[in-house]
Chain A
């Protein structure tokens, strides 16, 4: 699909039906009429580096769509919404944990690696989801929680049962709780130590997260092999890869921080090697909440993780907008080393966790709390548990600007479900549930999420007067051509036409106004001249080397700036949304004016 492709202004994918919707048909609301098949979706690419260009979309299966009316979202429900996601422009779904779990940490406490929580469906449902997604050109990756299990996992139950059972060393046990005491406690709001006493085994066990999530002992080769078997099981089913939860903490050792140890890298490299050997075109996306200089190691020499999240960039985008100056962003970009060939950053604005502030200074954290989490209920651990729209006070222009940054900075963007609607949160729900409320599909009962009774629902849908499902929902967004949903769909289409957004070099362009952040994405190495393709590029086969100038006004006031485009002298910038040609770049500074929180993407043509 392209940015300009018409979409049915009043169209809606059937919230309940499985036939037409799942086969790529549209149902007009209220009529039940099927107007005929839409143009076929994109085929699944055979590019082994597909993830470098992909737009990811994070789905909480329990909160996305309930297909069987039990009040809990499920995998079959995700299948029913695939056409919507394909229309939006999503290339890859990232499914949050669907494994059986006591759900004391949103499913990140797995009690069985080989099946699917009954409320989420079955292994067959997942297989169908993968198949249907692939038919629409969408890949599917899933969370893999390999650092720890739930304390209800059979492995742990056996391990704790005695000191000499076959799995006695599958977890990290100790007679005292002082070992490795220098290693920080991550969930500092709820846990006072990384050790917890087990009354059955009469020993302490190690956990980097909640006490009910004992860490697996990777020193034990049996554990390493067991996890590799889990990996193979799901890849055999057809998954396109994994998001590796808490990848930095697999090993721990006295006298270290317990993070980023060489042994951890060695294990991840082994995993990558086996996947590359047996499962082509799959990928690993690491969750490593560290500074870029540490995270870069998780790419190895291009032989470890294919992708890593860039955590420090995210809070700095918010900070830059609030401070109305570019340095929070340019500073972290300057500290970000180049990635090896075949590697890519994952960048995001919000996700299922709190807006993490681990990778900022104390000053910056205080600032972020003051600006974005004035109510203590909004805070969680070292972060802010809020969705995008409330964070930016529902300011459409700021939301567009932040997405403009997200889609144009180096990395593959990861969208969080519901943010395309500017959904709100519910800070009165516990833990991080406030940002995991049901997807809002329609203004009908339960926001179209489920036909179950309200009391049965997985979490209550938002009924907030501003963000509630009555006004903020997919149906309304689709009907309104000027909605944020349509805007994002168009921008994703434009982004797809310009591969430099995905893998081009980034060159920050000097601007004489601190509120203006300008950069050029180009296929040429920084300092080189990109090959100007000009407007005559053949339709449908855009060359990969068109450079794009991105200019962002981080201020809520109109701004002008002179930007230094010296090496692009003679080029004509063409705005990508309206295709308006701007004045040709001359030998002196290039003057630009931008409205409040405005931004331009400009193709640099000619030269």
Chain B
């Protein structure tokens, strides 16, 4: 037996309303009651586990709840008492109901359910909890994303992961299991590489090494620009922490990603006019620096003049490609995840194309902009006295690594077929998409 769905729903509604992630998810939406749309018992008995699908207006939420006799709960929650929903009757006996993510035993049960019984684990580690999903690591081996905010149809990340896997693209955290029910993706289990690190950390390590050249560049007899520092570009290339070969490898991985996406999802012809219209739209947005808006509008005009097929193909792209989305591991670079948060759908520069379909150059521009952001971030850590020299070095680092990334991309076999025929067109698209990314960042600095 299990507590009645209505009883669980009655406990779930106030619980949800107390959660910050839920409040963020409904921010700006018209008020509506929380209603239970589905309740599935995943484990009967004690402890027990049920899955609730709840709606609030157009939003659908997933909440996993567990229950145990009151005397057993304290030892299980161990400091996660805020996960308690309340008490209910189970088979006429009182039990305490709580969010199941707080219970190691139930999470392992859940893994078994999600994987269809092919996976189990001994140790559970909870990692980041974001608005749209919670994440759990099992035995430092498997990583489960449990979606909280659901999206009808296929979750883009789960879809992309499995499709990429099916065409043999191995620079991803290999998908292990996908949990779908009632028309929703509910959870995704992937391989976990414990020693992999996000690209941003490696980039910052490289910059730390380089910017140390600027240490004490004023009063302590350290390096002085124009004297000890030969030339920012030369210095950057000679630095021990040079990141260029890594970025070249990432460029290759990115090209392989795009080729695999094309193999998995196909491609279509991109119309320059449609693309330019999207760019003009981005230029017309009120946020951001007016000068950059003008620059973007000019580029859009230039692109609009190009003939049919001149801007290269449109295909399924990553869509939010930056140094936090890629990880360096012992087997090279891997694409750690795809932006698929339904709460943060990215504005499209060309809205007439299907979601997540666009020019591969968009992803390249995203990564180039990401290198810029890391440079800015590293510079912010340096004392103001070093700003001039550090700024020169950081700019040189950005140039060098962007160039290496693009070189790695274009020199990958077959990668040129992903780009416009004319290199000048690629450059124009790159500049335009970088401006779009920059303006988007100016509008929402926390977006990356």
Binding site for B on A (CB under 8 A): 322-325, 327, 330-331, 333-334, 363-364, 367, 370-371, 508-515, 555-557, 564, 566-567
A514 to chain B: which residues have CB within 8 Å?
A: 197, 201-202, 205, 328
Which residue of chain B has the shortest Cβ distance to A557 in the bound complex? B208
Which residue of chain B has the shortest Cβ distance to A327 in the bound complex? B328
A371 to chain B: which residues have CB within 8 Å?
A: 238, 240
A324, B240: Cβ atoms under 8 Å? Answer: yes
A509–B331 Cα distance when bound, in Å, is: 16
Interface: B242 (CB within 8 A): yes
Task: Output the least CB separation between B243 and chain A (Å).
Answer: 8
Task: Output the least CB separation between B96 and chain A (Å).
Answer: 23
Interface: B195 (CB within 8 A): yes
Which residue of chain B has the shortest Cβ distance to A513 in the bound complex? B201
Closest 6 pairs between A and B when the two form their complex, measured CB to CB: A334-B330, A510-B194, A322-B240, A363-B245, A510-B195, A330-B330
Q: Which B220-270 residues have C-beta < 8 A from chain A? A: 237-238, 240-242, 245, 248
CB contact between B241 and one of A324, A334, A363 (< 8 Å): that residue: A324
B245, A334: Cβ atoms under 8 Å? Answer: no
A514–B205 Cα distance when bound, in Å, is: 7
CB contact between A512 and one of B197, B237, B240 (< 8 Å): that residue: B197
Task: Output the least CB separation between B140 and chain A (Å).
Answer: 7
B123, A327: Cβ atoms under 8 Å? Answer: no
Interface: B212 (CB within 8 A): yes
CB contact between B242 and one of A334, A367, A511, A564 (< 8 Å): that residue: A367
A557–B213 Cα distance when bound, in Å, is: 13
A511 to chain B: which residues have CB within 8 Å?
A: 195
A566, B205: Cβ atoms under 8 Å? Answer: no
Interface: B209 (CB within 8 A): yes
| A-B interface contact total, Cβ < 8 Å | 66
A259–B328 Cα distance when bound, in Å, is: 33
B205, A515: Cβ atoms under 8 Å? Answer: yes
Identify which of A327, A511, A567 gathers the most chain B CB atoms within 10 Å of its CB.
A327
B242 to chain A: which residues have CB within 8 Å?
A: 323, 367
A323, B241: Cβ atoms under 8 Å? Answer: yes
Task: Output the least CB separation between B198 and chain A (Å).
Answer: 9
Given the known inter-chain contacts A333-B330, A363-B245, please indicate yes or no for A325 contacting B202, CB distance below 8 A: yes
Q: Which B313-362 residues have C-beta < 8 A from chain A? A: 328, 330-332
B202 to chain A: which residues have CB within 8 Å?
A: 325, 327, 514
CB contact between A364 and one of B125, B209, B245, B328 (< 8 Å): that residue: B245
A557 to chain B: which residues have CB within 8 Å?
A: 208, 212
Task: Output the least CB separation between A355 and chain B (Å).
Answer: 16
Which residue of chain B has the shortest Cβ distance to A321 in the bound complex? B240
Task: Output the least CB separation between B201 and chain A (Å).
Answer: 5
CB contact between A566 and one of B123, B237, B241, B330 (< 8 Å): that residue: B123
Which residue of chain B has the shortest Cβ distance to A361 in the bound complex? B245
CB contact between A327 and one of B212, B238, B330 (< 8 Å): that residue: B330
A564 to chain B: which residues have CB within 8 Å?
A: 140, 194
A370, B205: Cβ atoms under 8 Å? Answer: no
Which residue of chain A has the shortest Cβ distance to B242 in the bound complex? A367
B209 to chain A: which residues have CB within 8 Å?
A: 323-324, 555-556
A325 to chain B: which residues have CB within 8 Å?
A: 202, 205, 241
A139–B392 Cα distance when bound, in Å, is: 57
A556–B237 Cα distance when bound, in Å, is: 19
Given the known inter-chain contacts A324-B241, A512-B197, A514-B202, please indicate yes or no for A363 contacting B330, CB distance below 8 A: no
Task: Output the least CB separation between B434 and chain A (Å).
Answer: 26
B330 to chain A: which residues have CB within 8 Å?
A: 327, 330-331, 333-334, 508
Which residue of chain A has the shortest Cβ distance to B193 in the bound complex? A510
Task: Output the least CB separation between A368 and chain B (Å).
Answer: 11
A364 to chain B: which residues have CB within 8 Å?
A: 245
A514–B206 Cα distance when bound, in Å, is: 10
B240 to chain A: which residues have CB within 8 Å?
A: 322-324, 371
A359–B419 Cα distance when bound, in Å, is: 34
A331–B237 Cα distance when bound, in Å, is: 23
A364–B245 Cα distance when bound, in Å, is: 8
B123 to chain A: which residues have CB within 8 Å?
A: 566-567
A363 to chain B: which residues have CB within 8 Å?
A: 245, 248
B195, A330: Cβ atoms under 8 Å? Answer: yes
A367 to chain B: which residues have CB within 8 Å?
A: 242, 245
B331, A334: Cβ atoms under 8 Å? Answer: yes
A370 to chain B: which residues have CB within 8 Å?
A: 237-238
Between-chain CB contacts (< 8 Å), 29 pairs: A323-B209, A323-B240, A323-B241, A324-B208, A324-B209, A327-B202, A327-B328, A331-B330, A333-B330, A334-B330, A363-B245, A370-B237, A371-B240, A508-B195, A509-B195, A510-B194, A510-B195, A511-B195, A514-B201, A514-B328, A515-B205, A555-B208, A555-B209, A556-B212, A557-B208, A557-B212, A564-B140, A566-B140, A567-B123
